Every structure is written in C-alpha cells, then in structure tokens.
Structure 1
Amino acid sequence: MDKSENRTLIVKIICILLSFCLWLYISNVENPLRTYELKNIPVELINENSLIDSKFAIMNKQQFTVDLKLEGPSSEVIKIRKEDFKIAADMSAYALKGGENTIPVQIISYPQNINIKNNGFLGIKVNLEELVQKEVTIKSKVKVNYKEHIYEKEQTISPKTVKVTGGKSVIERISDAILTGDERDVDNNKQSDYSIKFVDSFGNEVNDVESDIKTAKLSIVVTNGKVVPINLKTNGTIPQGFVLDGYELSKSSVNILGNSQNLDKISSIDTESVDMSSLQSDSQMNVKLNLPEGILVQDGEGIINVKFKVKKEESVTKNIVCNVQIKNLSENLILENSNLTTNVSVTGIQTELDKVTAQNINVILDLSNIKEEGTFEYTPKATLVDGNNAAISSIGSVSVVVKKKA
C-alpha cells in the first residue's frame, strides 16, 4: 500500500470518529426532540367475561395490537419498549353486535417525558359471533405399549364427556375431544390425567374455545395373556351326495386373557359344535368360542367366522366280478362249464360304492328255453341288495355249454 492510500484511510477513520462524537454531543448535550412510531403494542381486553352475558364469542381470537406515534427527547425515545405501555379495551363499555365491532382503546400508562401524537380515533377491530355450547364424548388417543404377555383388559375415561363453549363456527368444527400422550412398558393397572384437546374431522386442533374441565382421567386395566390355536368342533355328517372339500377359519389362533394359573392349563380353544348335516353348498357362519370360566378373548367378541367348502359328489362306476346262479335248466341237460362269473358295473357316488361288494349283487341266468345241447351266449339279470343310492349300469354276457345227460 503506498503513502497516498494510507493518508486516505486515515482521513476516513478521522471523519467517522468526528461524526460519532458529534452524534454523542447532540444526543446527550443538546438532546433534541425526536418522533418515533412504535408498532404492534399489545392491547389487553378487560371485562371479557361480559361477552358471555351478551351471548357472544370472539372469532379468530388473537393478540390485538395498536401502533403509536411518539415524541420525546432522543435519550428517552431510544429506551422505549412495548412493555412500557399498558393499553386496554373495555369489552363491557359498549353495545356489541355480531360481526365486526370497533372497540376504543385506553392508554392507561406510558413512559414519562414521552408524548403520544396519534391524531383521531384509536381502537381495535373485534369480530364477534353467537356463543354456543355442546357436549362432546371424550376419546383416548393415548399410545399404550405393554410389556410382554401383558394385555389390555379395558380402558375407561372419567368423566366421559366435556362441555365446550365458543363461537358457533368454531364449535361446529369440533368432531372429537381427545386425550393424547404415551404410556410405555405398562405391566399393571394404571391411572393418569391427560389434557383434553379438541379436533376437527381431519384431526386438526381446534382452539379459541372454553371447556368446563381441562383434564380427564384414563384408567387402564391389564391382565396376563397368551396366544393359542383354535380347534373347530363338528357333529353330524354331510348329507348324502355332498362332500366337504375343506373349511377356512377367519383366524387360526386367538389371544386369551386371564390369570396365569388358568392360562397355564390351556393349550388350545375349541369352538362350539357345528352341525354338518345341514350343509349342502358353500356357506359361512359365525361360531362362538367355547371359553373356559375366567378366560376372556382380547378383542372381547369370542366369535370367529368359518367358511365351509361343500361340493356335490360326482357319480362314478365300479366293476364287480359276481358269481352267476343258474336256474330252470332242463333235467335231461347238464351245464358243462360250472362256476360261471360275469362283470357287473355299478354306478353311484363314491361313498355309496365303497359299501357295495359282490355279496350285495344277485346275478341269475334263466336257462328254461334251452331244449338241446350246445353253446349259448346270454346276458343274465342282476339285482342290487342294500344299495339305495347306487344302481347297476351294465351286466356282462356269459357263455354256457350244455350237454345231454348220459
């Protein structure tokens, strides 16, 4: 840096110092009057309870403020703060109406040596609407976490309702009164007080209302529990012509609650018995769980849904080798090939065919029309004994060799 630049810098510093000294002299020695605008000075609402008597509530309640134009010595003006002013609006001093009201404000106190220079009317605008009240049921939104094998038996809230008062439009927004918070590692019965919060249908908090109570007590009762499988119990049989193709439970296990001694005795839970004799198509039904005394289900219902898959049994055919009985052969003729057999086809549903054997079928061949020896082809007759749901569909032919007696 050359000498000319150094001299310029020194001159600038000297000018700044001289300016600062001049400002100090003017401010502290001359102390001239100064005008200043102080913005957003809080206004206190007094006698606000008088609105209740008039059946009004403040809409969109907020911190009301005014701006003041001030004049005073510089040394005083620079020290002014909003907290130095007390400004109030008396809500009981004027006739009020629904909608926008202009309320005059009073400057109760302000700093000495300061003049307020505002010209004309000084007030705040307050919007009022009809004051209404309604009763809201309190719900719990408290997140509760339980220790292992500890389950909730019940929750109760006391009191159950809260009365809330406010402007009509605000009260109409309220959907629920809720308790919020967290309870962690709960392992015994517990009671806690929670603040009541009002929310709309979207879960947004609703403010600017008054309630007759601020808190409610949430009581949590716990019990031991464990998960066990469910066994479906049945009686009767599927009607003839139908077959059970399987079933499906709405849940395969259930969380049961009770004291530890009772729980230790239980390894599964049976349903009440279901009568299978009425099932002729796919169907579903609600079935109660057969709970031992002192045992509860966590969801409180003790009912499961069962879907039965039932189909009509298809007809099948079964071939059976049967002995043939010979009748009415002439006395002067003899049958050379004895111990005749033939195939008999029986048709029906499988469950019925499983019962049919050769002993249930009588096969008879009538040879009364044979008068001389020879070889003959015949189809015998067959009848089914004790086969109500089965029928003979075909009978095989037999070949007989007949000769004259010697």
Structure 2
Amino acid sequence: MGRYFSGDVALKILSVLVALVLWLYVMNEQNPQVTYVVRDVPVQLKNLDDTSLALKDPSQQYFVNVKVRARRSIITGLKPEDIVAEVNLRGRMEGENMVPVSVSVPPNVELLDFSPKEIVVVLEAVIEEQIPVYVEVKGVPAEGFAAKTPLASPQAVLVRGPRSLVNSSRRAVVEADISDKNNMVIASLPVKVVDAKGNEQKGVTYRPETVEVRIPIVPVATVPVTPNIRGNPEEGYMIKEVRVEPSVVMVTGNVEVLKNINQISTEPINVSGLSQNMSVEAGLQMPRGVQPFDEALSKVRVLVEIERADLKALSFTGDDISFRNLQAGLRVVPEDGEFMLTVRGPNSIIDRVDIDSFKIYADAAGLSEGEYILKIKADVPEPYELISVEPDTVKVTIKRQ
C-alpha cells in the first residue's frame, strides 16, 4: 500500500513537471518576451498652482516615447494611455522650467527606457484685466428705420489667464441681429474675447460670459439740406455756387412729421456786401419733434462761392419759343422777327451759355383760334439771372392743325 502511494505521488509530480516544461516551451515559443517602443505617450502636468500660474501656451502638449518589454500578448494590446507619464510642477516659477519626467507602466510590463527624460514647461503669471465690450450689429432694420448706438451692460468684462494672452486680448465681442426690426432690441448675448486681429482667445476665461444689449431702433428720413441765404453780394458780384457739407442729413422723430419733411434749412447766412468766397458753419433749423439721427451733428458747413458778374446777350427767333398749355388740335404760328435775351452770370462761366441753355416759352392757356400777343418768359437755371427779354412779347396766330 505504501509503495503504491509513493508511486502515485511520484507520477503526479512528474506530470506537473512535464506540464510546466510544456508551458514554458509554449510561452517561449508561441508568446515570447518582446521589446517595443510605445510612442507619443502624453505627459500629464501635475500640481500646477493654477491660481497664480498657467501654461504660456494652453494648447501646448508634451509626449514621451517609452521602451518596454513584455509578452507579445500583452504588448499587442498596449496603448499610450496605458502608460502614465507625468511631471511635478509644484513650486515652479514663471518662465522656462526644466522638469524631470517620471514614467510608470502596467503590471507584467518592464520599463526599459524613455525619452526625453526632461521637458521644458513655460509658465506665465495668471493676471486679470478688464476689457471693453463691443457690440457688432448684424443685419438691416425694417425700411424707414435705423439703429442708434448700441448699449451693453456691463460695458466691460474681466478677463483672466496667462499674462501674454490677457495682454493681447483687445475686446469682448457680442453679435446682435437687428434684421427687419422696427423697435428697441433687448437681448442677453454670449461674449467672445478676441485679439487685435479678431481671432478668438481660447486660453482665457472671463466673466460675465453674457451681457445685456439694448439697441434703439428709430424711424428715420434722409433729406437734403437747403442753405438759407440772405442778402446780396456787393454790386457787380453774384453767387456762383453754394455747397453744403454734408448735403443730406438723416433725421429722426415723430413718424407723421417725418412723412412730410422734404428738406432741412440752415439758419440764415448773410452774404450782404460780400465780394469774395465765404465758408461758415451753420446750424440746422429742425421742425418741432425732429432731431438729427447723429446727435453729434448740430451744424453743417456752407461754402458760398462769389464772383464778379458779367452780362451776355443771346438772340433767338419765334421758332425758339415753346407754347405751353395749348389746347389739343391747335397750333401756334409766331410772327417772324428777332428777339434778345440778356442774362447775368459769374464771369468764369458766362461764356458757356447759349440760347439752348434756357427754356423760352409763352403761355397759351385757354386760347382758341385767332391772333394774340403773348408775354415771353424764360426759365433760367442757377446761377444765372434773367435781366431782360426784348421785345418781351410775341404776336402769334393760333390755327387748327
């Protein structure tokens, strides 16, 4: 019985030894130890005092390559995230910091080497600074309306982050859409901090993250400015041209009043006795209930160009006369003869005019067939003045066509 038991135990021990040998054989032949380099293992930054320091470039990432040894079955499933690489930033200061990297690997994996052993981490002081809020208005209001200067509350945000990013932050931008609006726009809008080129600053925080924006949308009309000229220049001189800068203004006010405005006059401008050009600032005479859309625009500049005046006589015949308000089916036959039109104009341009520059006419309203003597009239464009028409009447015969 003892011999049987002893032989049975020996057989069992032998079986275990054979199994172990076979396992070692299989492991070494079928799943051997291999060496492998795991690339781009991310380095974690630990213990940074983010109340006073921050990465100069918050987007900066650090990596190491790690050389390991393990069974092929383990290596096959090994990923960069399975390896821990980190640096300790406790006690570091603003500027460049050369920091050693520590690496740990999973169980059953042997760490052979890694590189780099140190990395340079550039830190900057965390600062705070207030920057103004700027409202970017998008779209166009309803027809007949315009947007006044938008108001943001608060008017500034507090930006916090690395010194260089905060210093390069120029403004906090909010975008407000006023498309087709015809009354006050009030909205709570998100803030975006941008640099001088309009690029969004990603590495900073700010508060508040939203601001209230109010944009007045008011009724408007754009009308020409008419200079209110009083008096006459010195004898022998005349006004060649009057220019207003700006020549049109946008006004706002009561909708019903705006509908009936076709011009805005300046305050009186006296040119009495002048013989040379004049430039003057003149206020605007606003109707009751109307004011300039641009509150800073209270005056316009008026330039009055004055020149010595000359006369010019131009001859014409009855064929140059048009007959207005003639009844249908009738025609006018003027008598033969020559007439003389005398005009006065600035010396520099008087020679440019001819008879075609003026509209010479007689009024035939209410006349039927027969002979008539009609008054000759002329429409004279500025800056010319009509002095005389000689003779100032024409004998005509009105006939059926």
Q: For residues 268-279 of structure 1, what are the structure 2 equivalents within 5 Å?
A: 268-277=263-272, 279=274
- In angstroms, what is the RMSD of aligned CA positions? 3.5
Give 1:151 deviation, angstroms: 0.9
- Which range is displaced more, 221-230 or 36-45? 36-45
1:58 aligns to what? 55
SS at match of 2:258: helix
Tell me if the contact between 1:99 and 1:128 (Cα under 8 Å) persists in the aligned partners. Answer: yes
SS at match of 1:75: helix
Give 1:223 deviation, angstroms: 1.4
2:376 aligns to what? none
Give 1:148 deviation, angstroms: 1.8
Tell me if the contact between 1:177 and 1:199 (Cα under 8 Å) persists in the aligned partners. Answer: no
Give 1:305 deviation, angstroms: 2.4
1:282 aligns to what? 277
Tell me if the contact between 2:97 and 2:122 (Cα under 8 Å) persists in the aligned partners. Answer: yes
Tell me if the contact between 2:192 and 2:200 (Cα under 8 Å) persists in the aligned partners. Answer: no
1:40 aligns to what? 40
For residue 307 of structure 1, what is the amino acid of its counterpart? L
Tell me if the contact between 1:150 and 1:222 (Cα under 8 Å) persists in the aligned partners. Answer: yes
Tell me if the contact between 2:133 and 2:157 (Cα under 8 Å) persists in the aligned partners. Answer: yes
1:308 aligns to what? 304
Q: Deviation digits for residues 77-134 of structure 1, max 9, x if unmatched?
A: 232334444544443x23x2332102344557x6554343335884432112444443
Superposition TM-score, scaled by structure 2 size: 0.60
Give 1:224 deviation, angstroms: 1.8
Change (3 A) 1:166 1:205: same
| CA distance in structure 2 between the partners assigned to 1:264 and 1:164 by the alignment | 48
For residue 73 of structure 1, what is the amino acid of its counterpart? R
| CA distance in structure 2 between the partners assigned to 1:350 and 1:31 by the alignment | 112
| CA distance in structure 1 between the partners assigned to 2:46 and 2:30 by the alignment | 42
Give 1:302 deviation, angstroms: 4.2
Q: Which runs of 5+ in 1 are unaligned?
A: 1-25, 317-348, 352-406
Q: In structure 1, which of residues 94, 97, 100 is the aligned counterpart of residue 93 of structure 2? A: 97
Tell me if the contact between 1:196 and 1:215 (Cα under 8 Å) persists in the aligned partners. Answer: no
Superposition TM-score, scaled by structure 1 size: 0.60
Matched, 1:199 2:195: yes
| CA distance in structure 1 between the partners assigned to 2:178 and 2:68 by the alignment | 55
For residue 150 of structure 1, what is the amino acid of its counterpart? F
For residue 149 of structure 2, what is the amino acid of its counterpart? E
Matched, 1:78 2:76: yes
Q: Deviation digits for residues 247-302 of structure 1, max 9, x if unmatched?
A: 11224332222342332232322222222237542232332222233323333324
Structure of larger gyration radius: 1
Tell me if the contact between 1:192 and 1:217 (Cα under 8 Å) persists in the aligned partners. Answer: yes
Q: Deviation digits for residues 174-203 of structure 1, max 9, x if unmatched?
A: 333333465533333222403222212x44
For residue 118 of structure 1, what is the amino acid of its counterpart? D
Matched, 1:266 2:264: no
| CA distance in structure 2 between the partners assigned to 1:73 and 1:118 by the alignment | 17
Change (3 A) 1:228 1:66: same
1:326 aligns to what? none
| CA distance in structure 2 between the partners assigned to 1:114 and 1:185 by the alignment | 68
Q: Deviation digits for residues 41-60 of structure 1, max 9, x if unmatched?
A: 33343443x2544xx44222
1:116 aligns to what? 111
Tell me if the contact between 1:196 and 1:216 (Cα under 8 Å) persists in the aligned partners. Answer: no
Q: For residues 3-402 of structure 1, what are the structure 2 equivalents within 5 Å?
A: 30-48=30-48, 50-53=49-52, 56-67=53-64, 68-85=66-83, 87-91=85-89, 93-94=90-91, 96-105=92-101, 111-118=106-113, 122-180=117-175, 182-190=177-185, 191-200=187-196, 202-277=197-272, 279-300=274-295, 301-313=297-309
Change (3 A) 1:315 1:131: same
Tell me if the contact between 2:135 and 2:176 (Cα under 8 Å) persists in the aligned partners. Answer: no
For residue 253 of structure 2, what is the amino acid of its counterpart? G
For residue 43 of structure 1, what is the amino acid of its counterpart? V
SS at match of 2:74: helix
1:363 aligns to what? none
| CA distance in structure 1 between the partners assigned to 2:191 and 2:107 by the alignment | 44
Give 1:308 deviation, angstroms: 1.5
Give 1:237 deviation, angstroms: 3.0
SS at match of 1:157: strand
Give 1:350 deviation, angstroms: 10
| CA distance in structure 2 between the partners assigned to 1:122 and 1:312 by the alignment | 92
Q: How many residues align?
A: 287
| CA distance in structure 1 between the partners assigned to 2:182 and 2:27 by the alignment | 71
Give 1:152 deviation, angstroms: 0.5
